[in-house]
Structure 1
Amino acid sequence: MIDLIIRAWPLLVTGTIATMGLGLASYLLSLPIGLLVAVSRLYGSRLGRLLSRVFVSFMCGTPLLVQVLLLYYGLPQMGVVLPAVPTVIAAFALHSGAFIGEDLRGAIDSVDRGQWDAGAALGAKPHLVLLLVVLPQALRAAVPTLGTRFIGAMKETSLASIVTVVELTRVAEKVGSSSFRYLEMFVIAAGIYWLLSFAIARLQALLESRLRLQHRAAAPPNPHPVMEAGA
């Protein structure tokens, strides 16, 4: 297997970079989509809530592969011709955005109602309370699920190979086809995906640890430490 890695190294590097680019771009686009979905479902008009529910239901209830093919083959029939890479990024972002929207909706809804009341008492408008007070707390609570979504976005890039995008899975398929060593190439590809996922998980753990430390530092001191220790 070592000789195969050495021989395919340039292609593996190129494919891994493409995978990371697709995953990062789609994830960054999915965050504002998810926030818009969450806000629409919680505070939007009746029409906005209906549209966001339908969007989430469709995106969460249909396979991502079907969504990729729907955009890739459907948009040209509507007169919109896009290269394969922007098309798959859009499909991945819409798909992840629906799930992230549900994650953020739950996180925003979990913030204590007293935060809204405190903001209103200070004369802040609702959208400022949401942006400056509620949303930072909700994002802190949503870090674990958002990190998991990022790992999922990185793995889902493998579906881009279906529409001829040359990323890691496509590289493994091409090298396996030319060398007739499919098993080894897909084991190598799986190992690279695992390393990427492991790196993201470690970054997530570090971020969670830092946020916990900041939260403890910002928390007021306990006025009754003896009573707490006795409890």
Structure 2
Amino acid sequence: RIFSLCLLAYSINFLYIFYIQSIQNMKLANILTLLNGLVFPVIFVFIFSIIWNENGIWFAFVVSEIATLLVIYLYSIYLNKKTHGEYSGFFLKKHHDENEEMLEYTIHADENDALYLSQQVRDFLRDEKTAELVSLAMKELLIYILEINDNLDWIDVIVRDNDKSTIISIKHSGIGYNPQTDTELNSKHIDNLISISDNIDYSQILGLNNTVITIKKRDDYIFYGKKVLAEIIRF
């Protein structure tokens, strides 16, 4: 009966940890899991068992869940102040740049859909040089994902474009593909995309493969300089 008092807080914490994983905040998810599953229970069991004996053990789990919930709340306040409002609310909602545009598209496991989406991406991106490169690389990437997955239903793609960067997110089930480590696909266009990318994150969460590619905007000299340097290193 005492343990049942923690079920509401437990449910919120459980769902929140999965939510944080889904938005790629793995560091926070690991910290909360460690606090909730090990640190808080050990500390409070030790303290409350001395005060209330056996009942103290069950009270310890209740307080552990409440303490985890309190940590989440305090962290959301801290992050809001640290980022000057860029992240706000209990679920750390990020306020995007007012000049940012977003293309969100879900394709079926069909090559024609992949070709159509690559054309949409090329028309969507404002920088012509980046648009052409990203479009060609995404076409080959999507087709390759379809080839290695026989029973794939869909691929979810989100492209965000603002004055500072272009962010590409590709999410799907089945067999994953990491552009940085998987060498089965020999593609010049994907190699060029990797060479100009500032960061590529690949993760598998809740049965979904998620690849996030971030490209910072630069002038032409730096843009082509990285491509040329990548070609020289590969040669």
Q: What TM-score do you get using the length of structure 1 for normalisation? A: 0.22
Which structure shows the bigger proportion of residues in strand conformation?
Answer: 2
Greater helix share, structure number: 1
